[in-house]
Amino acid sequence: MSQVILPILTASLLSLSFSSFNLWLFAWFGFIPLFISLEKRSLLQSFIVGYLCGIVFWSLTIYWLIHVTLLGQAVLILYLAVYFGLLGCAVYLFRFLSPGVFLFFIPCAWVLLEYLRSYLFTGFPWALIGFSQYKNLPVIQIAEITGSWGVSFLVVLVNVVFYLALRKRLKLRIILIFICILYLSLAYGFYRLSYKPDLRCDKELLKVSVVQGNIPQDLKWDKQAAAGILNNYIELTSAAAKDNPSLIIWPEASVPVLWGGDSADVQFAQVFSLARQLKISLLVGAVSCSDEVYFNSALFINNLGQPERVYNKLHLVPFGEYVPFKKIFPFLQSIAPIGDIEPGKEYTIFSQRVNFSVLICFEDLFPELSREFVKRGARFLVNITNDAWYKQSSAPYQHFAASVFRAVENRVYLVRAANTGISGFIDPFGRPSSIVQDVAGKDSFIKGYSSKSICLTPIRHTIYNRYGDLLIIFCLLFDTCVIIFVLRKRK
């Protein structure tokens, strides 16, 4: 019975840490029931126990995907659960290691599994364990050195220490090493949070406004609703213009016609006219068309009402914007009936007094995109998205967590404009501010706007921005060395 109840308990605790209830503390001990349930199991049983845990975790965590595709959700859950099954195998195969080695082997293994999940088959880096801590500001500051992987490593490390303390007798030196790692991580976090860049900003301020249209998903591409949708954004933009921003940002695909399509002229002429009339630059989301090829795009319109540059989304959503491997497996098109969007090819840098770049939809989940934009000169990042697909759920908060990490990793402001979801500003230390809310404090499925002057301190490339996934290399080397040592010893 324990091999069923305990993994379900782990799945529930971990999933709750990703809920909208701010229960990040559960992640620090959530793995312990799973570790206990893996004791005295065979290799196959360990995989099955871990796989069960994964199925329950992902069913509870991405339950909102049912609003998009039931079959796609089922396939995705069955696939993602494999990584929990592999963790179960790792615990079984290396449970005989000394506590000091096991203490680091398992966190390294988990980080490597998360990394593999983030890139294999185009990648799905959603709900990384580190993301559960996005409100735990002192802990996440190490992301500027290690990326979000370092926070995942730390969370699993604490779980393993608690587990070993319950089941085995830990040597004093192991306890001291653990305390030292935890202390240094937290001390570094509090030290970085004590820095006040806004006090040194002087004239390096840029006022930006974001608008949240709250357009229902079933109306978004309804031709009958197009005029009303555009008027909604014009109304919000005109209201935001009273704050005298230099830039106003609309969400993903906010203009309800094709850019480059036959019927786009009148609609886009209104948008261009609006920018010219307000004398404010606009960044708007649109689906663009060129030579019968479609892109998910961000269009920058200067304060003269002229379209200057277009960014075409680089990393598309599988089964959301295109069907992978459809030429080999045609049946995959039945999982999610969609039209094909093509990926862009250019890391576009926009300029509004200073350089900035755009991440469209779930591109903020992929740290290499943000790193590359900042390396190329972006002084701040923008995420335009549409989380209306997922109805009233925890999906917008799970998505928002990724944006927090991208800001911390690169030490830049990240500005978010969502059709509905969470729109607002994240400072270089992961602190949200000026979130679009109604009078009751609700931040999703409402319409509104928010303005903020963001501080544009000179870019000082962080260790993570400059060198990337060094922790992944360390984890790979460490676990590889342990495996080689074990194999040689057995021979």
Question: Distances from the Cα of 5 to the Cαs of 12, 59, 63, 371, in angstroms?
Answer: 10, 16, 20, 41
Question: What does the pLDDT average to over 242-262?
Answer: 90
- Is 409 considered catalytic here? no
The reply to whether 361 belongs to the active site is yes
125-173 pLDDT tens trace: 999 999 999 999 999 999 999 999 999 999 999 999 999 999 887 889 9
Is the distance from CB of 249 to CB of 209 less than 8 angstroms? yes
* CA-to-CA dists, residue 463 to 401, 428, 468, angstroms: 21, 14, 7
- The enclosing H or E element of 149 equals helix 148-167
What are the tens digits of pLDDT across the range 374-405?
Answer: 999 999 999 999 998 888 899 999 999 999 99
Q: What is the mean pLDDT of the chain?
A: 91
Q: Give every CB contact of residue 51 below 8 A, 6+ residues apart in sequence.
A: 81, 82, 84, 85, 88
Active site residue 313: yes
Distances (CA, A) of 304 to 103, 117, 144, 311, 462: 60, 45, 38, 19, 36
* Residue of 53, 108, 144, 313 marked catalytic: 313
Which residue in 88, 129, 47 sits closest to 402, CA to CA?
129
CA distance 362 to 128: 14
Whether the CB-CB separation of 189 and 137 falls below 8 Å is answered with yes
CA distance 264 to 91: 57
State residue 3 phi and psi, 5-degree precision.
-75, -5
Indicate the pLDDT class of residue 68, thresholds 50, 70 and 90: confident
Give the count of alpha carbons within 13 A of 240, CB side only: 32
Out of 144, 252, 321, 409, the active site residue is: 252
Using CA atoms, how far apart are residues 408 and 429, in angstroms rounded to an integer?
Answer: 5
Q: Domain-by-domain residue ranges, the chain?
A: 2-194+469-490, 201-460
* Range in 364-373, 399-408, 456-465 with the lowest mean pLDDT: 456-465
65 CB contacts (<8 Å, ≥6 apart)?
Answer: 72, 73, 76, 390
pLDDT digits (tens, 9 = 90+) for 160-218: 999 999 988 788 999 999 999 999 999 999 999 997 665 556 557 899 999 999 999 88
At 335 the pLDDT is: 47
Question: What confidence category does residue 261 fall into, taking pLDDT thresholds of 50, 70 and 90?
Answer: low
Which residues does 219 contact at the CB level (< 8 Å), separation at least 6? Answer: 225, 229
Query: Rounded mean pLDDT of 14-42?
Result: 94
Q: Are 241 and 280 in contact (CB under 8 A)?
A: yes
Catalytic residue among 53, 108, 361, 455: 361
Asked if 425 contacts 416 with a C-beta cutoff of 8 angstroms, the reply is: yes
CB atoms within 10 A of CB 170: 15
Residue 426, H or E segment: strand 424-426
> What architecture does CATH give domain 201-460?
4-Layer Sandwich (3.60)
Beta bridge partners of 249: 210, 283
More confident: 393 or 83: 83
The two three-digit tokens of residue 134, written as one number: 């996005």
Compute the average pLDDT of residues 437-461. 90
State both tokens at 281.
Answer: 């630059």
At 101-118, the pLDDT tens digits run 999 999 999 999 999 999
C-alpha 174/C-alpha 101 separation (Å) is: 10
Q: What is the pLDDT of residue 30?
A: 98
Residue type at position 395: A
Buried b (16+ CB within 10 A) or exposed e, 315-345: bbbbbbbbbeeeeeeeebeebbeeeebeebe
Closest CA to 225 of 338, 237, 420, 217: 217
Distance CA 38, CA 40 (A): 6
Across 240-257, average pLDDT = 95
Q: Which helix (H) or strand (E) holds 356?
A: strand 354-360
Please check the confidence at residue 364 and state whether its pLDDT lies above 60.
Answer: yes
Instruction: Judge whether 54 and 11 are in contact, CB under 8 Å.
Output: yes
d(CA 290, CA 296): 12
* pLDDT at residue 262 greater than cutoff 70: no
CB 210 within 8 A of CB 230: no
Least confident of 56-60, 262-266, 453-457: 262-266
Q: Which pair of tokens denotes residue 477? A: 């080397």
Q: Which of 106, 109, 152, 154 is nearest to 130 (CA)?
A: 152
Is the pLDDT assigned to residue 333 strictly greater than 80? no
Backbone angles phi, psi at 424, to 5 degrees: 160, -150
For residue 227, the number of C-alpha atoms closer than 13 Å in the C-beta half-sphere is: 2
Q: Is the pLDDT of residue 369 over 60?
A: yes
Residue with tokens 């996440």: 140
The answer to whether residue 336 scores a pLDDT higher than 70 is: no
Residue 115 has what pLDDT? 98
